[in-house]
Amino acid sequence: MDNPLQREEPVDRMKREAGCHAADIVEDGMVIGLGTGSTTLYAMEHLSVLIEENGLCIQAVPTSFQTEMRARQLQIPLTTLDAYPELDLAIDGADQVDPDLCLIKGRGAALTREKCVAAAAEELIIVVDASKCVRSLSGPVPLEVIPFALHPVILGVRAIGGVPELRNGIRKDGPVITDNGNFILDCLFGEITEPGRLEGILSLMPGVLSCGLFCGFVEKTRVVVGGEDGCRELKRQ
């Protein structure tokens, strides 16, 4: 009989391997954060198997409504940051990772809650396929912006050399609305030579709730990279 896993695209296989590797890091009794996105979903699916077949006992804080619904379907016990403001670890994905382990995140529009969970976690496990590892960050930087301040933030981004674009919905007219009721601006800056400095500037703009640059967690970040020959781990040197 044909094995569905053998029909997986190479990138999907890399994501699955990275997600399963991250799930295997989780220990019995841990309280963890769960990010949003396809690679994290692979980790969640493997955690579900470990819970059902191995009796793994954990609780998880989801970073989006989507992750919450998926976790319930997979019978992963859920909790909140109110109950557990300190987490053992968080598993999440990234859009780009540079050699210093600075990240661009937010393609799933959950960057604010992901940043809250990352800050609460003792260790941040980032799961990616090999294509997400880059020499320097250059992708669109998402900003979660309150609607009241949308146009002032657009002017502010332009003033520092960025090209902002309001993210529009798919199968929905108008802008993407985050789980917090806000808009997403995707901002291009070309090659980002000082991501930490740019994160600080963007985060201080009035009306910006959160910035998709994650540069403040590099000391506790472990990146699991799925590749053609299995997984490798990256840590800050």
Could you say which architecture CATH assigns to the domain 4-133+216-235? 3-Layer(aba) Sandwich (3.40)
Give catalytic status of residue 53 as yes or no.
no
Residue extents of the structural domains in the chain: 4-133+216-235, 141-211
Hey, is 111 helix, strand or coil?
helix
Catalytic, out of 68, 114, 144, 199: 114
Average pLDDT over residues 9-13: 88
Q: What does the block give as tokens for 16? A: 């699955």
Average pLDDT over residues 28-33: 98
How large a percentage of the chain has pLDDT more than 70?
Answer: 97
What CATH class has 141-211? alpha beta
Q: Are 88 and 122 in contact (CB under 8 A)?
A: yes
Rounded distance, CA 42 to CA 191, Å? 30
Q: Are 143 and 202 in contact (CB under 8 A)?
A: yes
Specify the pTM: 0.93
Q: pLDDT digits over 79-123, tens only?
A: 999 999 999 999 999 999 999 999 999 999 999 999 999 999 999
pLDDT on residue 7: 59
